[in-house]
Amino acid sequence: MAVLRHIRENLATMVAAALIVCGLAACFVLLRPHTSSNAQLVARIHDGEGHSYELPLAEYGSLTVETSLGTNVIVVENGAVFVAEADCPKGDCLRQHAISAPGQQLICLPHQLWVEIVEAGAPGGELDVTAVTATGDADLVSR
């Protein structure tokens, strides 16, 4: 009898706890990245001259992109892509972390090179270089 009385007294708390657990599980399922398990991810590379290339993330590979603006070497290793070599003045693209998930990007502004992770066959975006560059030091100070 004591057990039944204890259950009756705490029933509301137990129901609330069960609802919270179910709510958290639903949030986890709904908020996870929406890529199908069969989708192959690729690194789509866009250069400053309007060319695009793809490297599958599932296998090791590298690509040397040479344009009139400069040269970059893009490497795919262990399911992630990064800029391994670049002859741009500051080399900021070399210090960017490797990327591996849809929506992540690498950018080399001097070479107008842009790398994005997408599902194979999916349409890619466009890079507006003027939107991500400052027009001068004064702009950087005033922000």
93-101 long-range contacts (CB < 8 A, ≥24 apart) are 99/43, 100/41, 100/57, 101/33
- The average pLDDT across 41-66 equals 93
pTM: 0.62
Cβ pair 67, 83 in contact under 8 A: no
Percent of the chain surpassing pLDDT 90: 52
Q: Examine the pLDDT at 141 and tell me if it is beyond 70.
A: no
pLDDT bracket for residue 32 (50, 70, 90): low
pLDDT at residue 137, as a whole number: 44
pLDDT at residue 12, as a whole number: 84
pLDDT bracket for residue 26 (50, 70, 90): confident
pLDDT in tens, 40-51: 999 999 998 889
pLDDT in tens, 72-127: 999 999 999 999 999 999 999 999 999 999 989 999 999 999 999 999 887 766 55
Q: Examine the pLDDT at 132 and tell me if it is beyond 80.
A: no
